[in-house]
Homo-oligomer: A and B are copies of this chain.
Amino acid sequence: MEHQLTIYNTLNRKKELFVPLKEPHVGMYVCGPTVYGDAHLGHARPAITFDLLFRYLKHLGYKVRYVRNITDVGHLEHDADEGEDKIAKKARLEQLEPMEVVQYYLTRYHHAMEALNVLPPSIEPMASGHIIEQMDFVQKILDAGYAYVSEGSVYFDIEKYSKDHNYGKLSGRNVEELLSTTRELDGQSEKKNSADFALWKKASPEHIMHWHSEWSEGFPGWHMECSAMGTKYLGEEFDIHGGGMDLLFPHHECEIAQSVAALGKETVHYWMHNNMITINGTKMGKSLGNFITLDEFFNGSHPILTQAYSAMTIRFFILQAHYRSTVGQSEHIYLESSSKSACFNIEDQANTPFFKLPCLQLLLAFQWYSQNGDDRLRFRRFQFPERGGKKHNGP
Instruction: Tell me whether A120 and B107 are in contact (CB under 8 A).
Output: yes
Number of interface residues of A (CB under 8 A): 24
Contact between A123 and B110 (Cβ–Cβ < 8 Å)?
no
Q: Are A99 and B233 in contact (CB under 8 A)?
A: yes
Task: Looking at the assembled complex, report how far the CB atom of A331 sits from the nearest CB atom of chain B, in whole angstroms.
Answer: 26
A126 at the interface (CB under 8 A from B): yes
Cα separation A120 to B99 with both chains bound (whole Å) = 13
Q: How far is the CB of A53 from chain B (nearest CB, A)?
A: 18
Q: How many copies of this chain?
A: 2
Q: What CA separation (Å) do A110 and B124 show in the bound complex?
A: 14
A128 and B129 form a contact (CB under 8 A): yes
- Indicate whether A132 reaches chain B with its CB closer than 8 angstroms: yes
Give the residues in chain B near A123, CB-CB below 8 Å: 97, 99-100, 102-103
The residue of chain B having its C-beta at the shortest distance from the C-beta of A136 within the complex is: B212
For residue A161, give the distance in angstroms from its CB to the closest CB of chain B: 27
Residues of B within 8 A of A65 (CB): 97, 100
Chain B: CB-nearest residue to A211: B132
Question: Can you name 23 A-B residue pairings with CB atoms under 8 Å?
Answer: A65-B97, A65-B100, A97-B122, A97-B123, A97-B233, A99-B123, A99-B125, A99-B233, A100-B122, A100-B123, A103-B120, A103-B121, A103-B122, A103-B123, A104-B122, A107-B120, A110-B110, A126-B126, A128-B129, A129-B129, A129-B130, A132-B211, A132-B212
Q: Which residues of A contact B (CB under 8 A)?
A: 65, 97, 99-100, 102-104, 107, 110, 120-126, 128-132, 211-212, 233
Across the A-B interface, the 9 shortest Cβ-Cβ residue pairs: A129-B129, A99-B123, A107-B120, A100-B122, A103-B123, A132-B211, A131-B132, A100-B123, A103-B124
